[in-house]
Structure 1
């Protein structure tokens, strides 16, 4: 205990210690309360986290503790610890020196505590005593030359001391307190126990304080106050408890969830869970108490991390593996030659049953195969939560496959099944050519070409069998042989005899198709030597005669290259047709299966042989020709002026109507001729290119893509740079605006408009001639006075190209002269390029296009001119009908247009609301009761329909497919369901996968039943179909119901939005046309029909009472709005005409026709001189369905049904003759237009009024 009496400053360090590895909590304040004169803790410094170690506590601010000089502690021999007694009692009388005084001076620089100065006349040492309150003392010596410096280390905290010097008189106060030095408190982590303890040091001696505080969930992150007694000092400490070590857990399932089991309520920060299962992958961070998608069968290591005071407190470590067995029970079903089904049904164990698979990938690879066959294609569909089916197509017959299926989640694959199967045998695919050799003049050696190597698998399709070859003469078998290899020798045959050779291959099950060849044996060489000698003499004489005749002919030529023009065959005399006689002429020619059309067309020479084609036949130019038999004449071919000697391109100048070189007819550019094509466009200053084909049709290349796509923007073809500025897609054509630059001519730039017609079918001709009239209007809208010839091309540059040019020229003739000479103009075209207007169907199409133009004229109106044109159409002159009324009167009624056998049968009459509105057979909606889901069968487009051909499962409903603007069958016009047809109506919606349903009537109007209410407040069931209203919204003009339809045979639920228009009840027409337009706009937006590529194949179902009176107006308005939004053009007459061809009773009155114009007028008002589209405005309110139905008043239908009076000229000839074949000539394989029809054919529809 003697060390406690040492003189010197005292340093007190108070520490807060945390258990475990957590960071220590920093004390906020520490105020000492001394038992005697009070000492104070003037400074408190929070330690940096780097200083927190499991070591003894040291002051944080070392500068405040360490003394500035090196005063040492007095030797222990000089320090005593005894009771205080009077000096004279212990030592006796002492001589008092003269003038000896001492004083106590406080040291201000803090290097030591106090200085005892002695002032004496003698230079001697004096004994200095320092005593505390408990009479503990220690002594030292000092003199007037060497004062005593009292260090802080010698003193105890919060203690009062008294100084005395034997033999000297004090000068001033000799009492002082030891706690005048600043003290610093800091913390260091010294324990890993879940407790907070207080430890301290004085002069390096550890003092154990009274208690430790346990860290719990309840006191974590709380501020506490603690009273501590340290030796002679009392301290009050304010501090914050650290958080308890987190404890986390999880539930072993997918999806999983992490939980923080001991989360303190006072701690605000969020604990994150750090998980990793692969050291090469970046760990993922998850939140607690939320679902997380962990991967099955992975060894996870997870640790919770909690941020606290710039440090991270880690939880216990979780190591786990969610084990899942994904191997499923499966079967190979429907195994055929090239197809298998692999269904499996087996629910996963509960913990793995909710895995969200991203996709399934099934693969089949050949097993132990010597040859490599193409890989099959596979598709997998999860039919419900516990059932999945994979279908694998394009397998090869009699082949062993190893098939497996992997399911993918988060880019990890898991095997579902694997197995081995063998496909069924098939007919041997024996398609190799037969090679016939003549070992002698009366024998055959027959073998099959390429029956080795990689092609063997493509022959047998089963176990290897035998080949059989037979030789026949006039259908009688002469000889037959079997062999395991395809090699046969037939000898001892007749000389100079033609034999038919037949070769077949048979595996163990099936026989291949028969390969045939015809071969003729040679002469009897042994018996004909004499005859040959005679023939040699005769042949020599004949050869000399021929050479002599050739010599005479050459002498008659004026020059070596002079051509003698042959006299063309005389053409038939066909009189021009006047405008008023077009319909009658068409009827006469189309009668008797189009016999007159065929005779007239075939009388025009295909090629005029008096025109030479020398340049096209040169060997260096032959690769530039797409077809060997379609070559330009020399006299009018387009010559490239900048190509040097290589100036050839397969293109011809063509005259228009009284305009030379109006067109250039060209073949579709090949990859090798794209540069020549752009050179021609540049040199001829052409600004318009009309392309009447697609680049590929029927898997055959028709034309190279010689323009850049929007993705690439620019293509460079040697000297020519082609850029695309914009691209406009319409249903029947695509307009591209191109920029053409010639690198040889700096600063030059030309605009070229590229119009591609995409509605020409792969076979035949367009059924609607108005499409070509529309194409002509687009082309003419881009023409200007200074542009060069219009370049028109298809694939060969003759058939479709000549058809378009003929229509364009003959319309100009019709406008100028009031008559047309179609026969003469086609003959004139063929004098300029062979085979122009190539097939009879194209020749008929020219006639029907001119009839269409002459009957209806130009009825298309742009939006920019719509209002002025409409004002003109409405003007009346006295009692005369207006132009709008005259336009309506032009519309044909299509009497006896198509058959209606199914809807008119006795069994189905009761299913029709109106006997005047029955769907045509060719486009009625057919559905099947025995087909589940969205499987439908389309009816064939035939003139005659036999009910005997209808299967029992094909059901009838009064509904018709209606062509939309973007594609066919995008609308369905239906009558309001009857109670007896509600199930069929819902089944139609379900199988067609309809998403939008438009209802234009109330269920009852003026006491008449317009529509059976097939929905209700609660779920309703009709047969196998269920319907339920999930939500109802009411708007000022319509009600929107969210329906769910389900078949009891299927689990899939169809969601349908029903829009019921409320402003038509009791009226002929809606009072405000704009309200109907606004509802159509809302449907377009909600159903995503504004994008032309969206929902094209999902029809919108529209119904009123009879499916025509109001439905026809909506369908017409829907298509007209599509056209207006896309092309900024509308054609009301053509739209109504097309609707009348698809269903009876569509837009029958002039009032309905005028309503369409009025609706468009309101939809696109004029604002500031420009046409604007007004925004839709509506407010929604959820209402009770029953209340909404009860509050709707009844009304009557606005229009009576009129009897349909329809007439037509012909629709592909009512006798059922087919369109002309467009098969290719062998020399021009691949061009769908390039063919010659030898038999009678018919062209497209011509609509006429009788």
Structure 2
């Protein structure tokens, strides 16, 4: 009989049995065909009365929100230096050149449809209900919550038939302008918008309270509610040079302590955002706000900066900016990298308070919505055990248009949540790590039950690439030895130099160090037939450090590229000269690559004295020596890591190297995530439990040695 909020509207008398949908009022059993004048009059009166009630409720809600945000104030606002700010009352809304964006998502469904997705015994219903809005049909999809333990199964199901499930979900989301954006449409505010089709809704926009009631109170940003409180986030566009003062005014008025930046200043030839912070060690003033650059820490795929912000009338305080630097503009986002970035933000200690987290990209909708959705759904998923991606995206879009802007971003939210929930962070302090390994060593067995369980989880999480993922490798199988490990195409480096009658294929993959994206190039020893490709790889990617995980005198093919000390050899079109060779704990050789019309290129090759597994050396000590050598090499160029098959011991070396970098920078460690990240590039890295145990032992010995060094000094 009734529908709407609090059931305050009456179903139409024309509905059969006067029954209708509880939310939309749509007649569930159809309309009566006979004309009934009395029904028309009664229906009209009820509809008019309902409209009055709704309008009154909206007005009261709007007044309450604006009062809470300080919009309605009796004193006249201060004008910025008494100049460019104008009272809104003196302006007329000019929307003559703007077309309202009201594109509604549509499907081809004509009737209610129930689809059942059966995954591991669970049944998920997708109820699609047709609503009529004027002459436009839209379908609102009511999606049930997904248990966090079943996200992987749901993703698999939704990816079938060319991702038909995801496409239906995404098509159900409200799109375009759904609420008034009058402030953003004012001619005086239009230059402050990066795109005229992405404007802040009036009811949720951030108002610069210092200038409330004037045109200087405008910034293209909206409040978004979160899991812990209302207005937990601010979603904003990247500032222009002309809006820097407004940006920092927004930061100060809400005492924002964390800024999440999800775009680079330029990407390709496009300017995405203006640099709104001073240079390192400098102080800049933006309007009434002074910003001092304190420190910067550069990681593989993000940068962390700290500022001290001060403004007259408020106490100076610290602001941390987390700048994600590797979000691809058109390619698929790496969900694990985003999750690690999110964990880093979440682990940062902030002062107690209720200040919002400021999140921005270029438009403040696509990447911004993706990150906020991940943060909100991860928090609520941990508390409730389930998530509802579509419903929260709808909630965000009620406060800022087109949040999670593209289909790929919508899918990325699911993939990131899967990554976040399937393996809990195992972050440990140095003390916790040392206590854990000490306990294992006392038991006399590093391959303990706990480490076995960790390694088994890693094996289950290893990416299962299809034949298409190995397409290039299979086409060039003749370039690989019999022990070669198949390469994943998207992580394979391409040779850029040109050599007559040679192609661009090389049997290698790139992986990240803790501080440099693609800081490792992992490969196998070259055969006699592709030595020139190996040298091209080293020179093309400027690898000044080569780590060999076997003594080269055991590798027959090494004689084709490693000359004897103080001698040279020709690998056309290169001439390779061995300049120096020293032997201590490691054997270290310096080679110079000469090529006509190019500058000579110098590399340093380090190798163990004995094979790993030999009784003549301690494997842990040898591994630590190799890692220490590499850590002291120049960090602005990739490190080439080589083994017999391009996998064995390579993952161990890279994992220990990255873990020590993490300890040095952050004073904590997460071995599980370190190995997980490497295995997304090549699943065969750290493939055995023995290798996994060796990683723990090497890190333990390194930390112990570091502690002894500090004590001695």
Common topology (TM > 0.5)? yes
CA shift for structure 1 position 832? 1.8
Cα distance change of structure 1 residues 1021 and 873 upon mapping to structure 2, 3 Å threshold: same
Query: Are 2:337 and 1:789 equivalent residues in the alignment?
Result: no
Query: Residue 654 of structure 1 corresponds to which residue in structure 2?
Result: 224
CA shift for structure 1 position 753? 1.9
Q: Equivalent of 1:1125, from 664, 667, 671?
A: 664
Q: 1:898-936: per-residue Cα shift (whole Å, max 9, x none)?
A: 55456556x854x5443452444554555589628xxxx
Query: Are 2:209 and 1:641 equivalent residues in the alignment?
Result: yes
Q: 1:1015-1042: per-residue Cα shift (whole Å, max 9, x none)?
A: 335434456554443322110x211122
Query: Are 2:624 and 1:1077 equivalent residues in the alignment?
Result: yes
1:354-503 → structure 2 map (5 Å cutoff):
none
Query: Are 2:655 and 1:1116 equivalent residues in the alignment?
Result: yes
Cα distance change of structure 1 residues 581 and 1172 upon mapping to structure 2, 3 Å threshold: farther
**Contact 1:994-1:1056 within 8 A present in 2 as well:** yes
SS in 2 for 1:1159: helix
Query: Residue 184 of structure 2 corresponds to which residue in structure 1?
Result: 616
Cα distance change of structure 1 residues 830 and 990 upon mapping to structure 2, 3 Å threshold: closer
Query: Residue 502 of structure 2 corresponds to which residue in structure 1?
Result: 953
**Contact 2:145-2:388 within 8 A present in 1 as well:** yes
Query: Residue 1038 of structure 1 corresponds to which residue in structure 2?
Result: 586
2:404 and 2:453 map into 1 onto residues whose CA distance is 35
SS in 2 for 1:649: strand
Higher relative contact order (CA 8 A, sep 6+): 2
Query: Residue 692 of structure 1 corresponds to which residue in structure 2?
Result: 262
Query: Residue 207 of structure 1 corresponds to which residue in structure 2?
Result: none
Cα distance change of structure 1 residues 1004 and 814 upon mapping to structure 2, 3 Å threshold: same
1:1052 and 1:702 map into 2 onto residues whose CA distance is 36
Query: Are 2:157 and 1:588 equivalent residues in the alignment?
Result: yes
CA shift for structure 1 position 870? 5.0
2:577 and 2:151 map into 1 onto residues whose CA distance is 57
1:484-563 → structure 2 map (5 Å cutoff):
none
1:875 and 1:585 map into 2 onto residues whose CA distance is 44
Q: 1:828-864: per-residue Cα shift (whole Å, max 9, x none)?
A: 1111221111111111111001100111121344546
Q: Equivalent of 1:972, from 521, 530, 533?
A: 521
**Contact 1:792-1:801 within 8 A present in 2 as well:** yes
CA shift for structure 1 position 589? 1.0
**Contact 1:687-1:788 within 8 A present in 2 as well:** yes
CA shift for structure 1 position 776? 4.2
Cα distance change of structure 1 residues 954 and 641 upon mapping to structure 2, 3 Å threshold: closer
Query: Residue 1061 of structure 1 corresponds to which residue in structure 2?
Result: 608
> How many residue pairs end up in the alignment?
583
Query: Are 2:403 and 1:836 equivalent residues in the alignment?
Result: yes
Cα distance change of structure 1 residues 562 and 825 upon mapping to structure 2, 3 Å threshold: closer
Cα distance change of structure 1 residues 575 and 1175 upon mapping to structure 2, 3 Å threshold: same
Query: Residue 704 of structure 1 corresponds to which residue in structure 2?
Result: 274
The structure with more helix, counted as a fraction of residues = 2
SS in 1 for 2:602: strand
1:303-314 → structure 2 map (5 Å cutoff):
none
SS in 1 for 2:143: coil
1:908 and 1:897 map into 2 onto residues whose CA distance is 16
**Contact 2:301-2:325 within 8 A present in 1 as well:** yes
Query: Residue 1136 of structure 1 corresponds to which residue in structure 2?
Result: 675
1:1069 and 1:894 map into 2 onto residues whose CA distance is 37
Query: Residue 755 of structure 1 corresponds to which residue in structure 2?
Result: 322
1:1166 and 1:987 map into 2 onto residues whose CA distance is 38
Which structure 2 residue ranges, 5 or more long, are not aligned? Answer: 1-47, 63-130
SS in 2 for 1:656: coil
CA shift for structure 1 position 586? 0.2
Query: Residue 808 of structure 1 corresponds to which residue in structure 2?
Result: 375
Cα distance change of structure 1 residues 813 and 1016 upon mapping to structure 2, 3 Å threshold: same
1:115-514 → structure 2 map (5 Å cutoff):
none
Which structure 1 residue ranges, 5 or more long, are not aligned? Answer: 1-552, 933-951, 1178-1250
**Contact 1:873-1:884 within 8 A present in 2 as well:** no
The structure with more strand, counted as a fraction of residues = 1
Cα distance change of structure 1 residues 742 and 583 upon mapping to structure 2, 3 Å threshold: same
1:660 and 1:1039 map into 2 onto residues whose CA distance is 61
2:483 and 2:611 map into 1 onto residues whose CA distance is 23
1:557 and 1:1105 map into 2 onto residues whose CA distance is 78
Q: What is the root-mean-square deviation of aligned Cα atoms in Å?
A: 3.9
Query: Residue 1088 of structure 1 corresponds to which residue in structure 2?
Result: 634
The structure number with the bigger radius of gyration is 1
Cα distance change of structure 1 residues 805 and 868 upon mapping to structure 2, 3 Å threshold: farther
CA shift for structure 1 position 1058? 2.0
Cα distance change of structure 1 residues 813 and 871 upon mapping to structure 2, 3 Å threshold: farther
Query: Residue 244 of structure 2 corresponds to which residue in structure 1?
Result: 674
Query: Are 2:689 and 1:1150 equivalent residues in the alignment?
Result: yes
CA shift for structure 1 position 1010? 8.4
1:758 and 1:964 map into 2 onto residues whose CA distance is 15
Cα distance change of structure 1 residues 801 and 765 upon mapping to structure 2, 3 Å threshold: farther
Cα distance change of structure 1 residues 584 and 725 upon mapping to structure 2, 3 Å threshold: same
**Contact 1:928-1:953 within 8 A present in 2 as well:** no
1:1003 and 1:1176 map into 2 onto residues whose CA distance is 36
SS in 2 for 1:1165: helix
**Contact 1:872-1:883 within 8 A present in 2 as well:** no
CA shift for structure 1 position 1056? 2.8
**Contact 1:692-1:757 within 8 A present in 2 as well:** yes
Cα distance change of structure 1 residues 1042 and 1127 upon mapping to structure 2, 3 Å threshold: same
1:957 and 1:644 map into 2 onto residues whose CA distance is 61
CA shift for structure 1 position 798? 1.7
CA shift for structure 1 position 987? 5.1
Cα distance change of structure 1 residues 607 and 984 upon mapping to structure 2, 3 Å threshold: closer
1:1024 and 1:704 map into 2 onto residues whose CA distance is 45
**Contact 1:1044-1:1055 within 8 A present in 2 as well:** yes
**Contact 2:484-2:645 within 8 A present in 1 as well:** no
**Contact 1:908-1:956 within 8 A present in 2 as well:** no
Query: Residue 298 of structure 2 corresponds to which residue in structure 1?
Result: 729
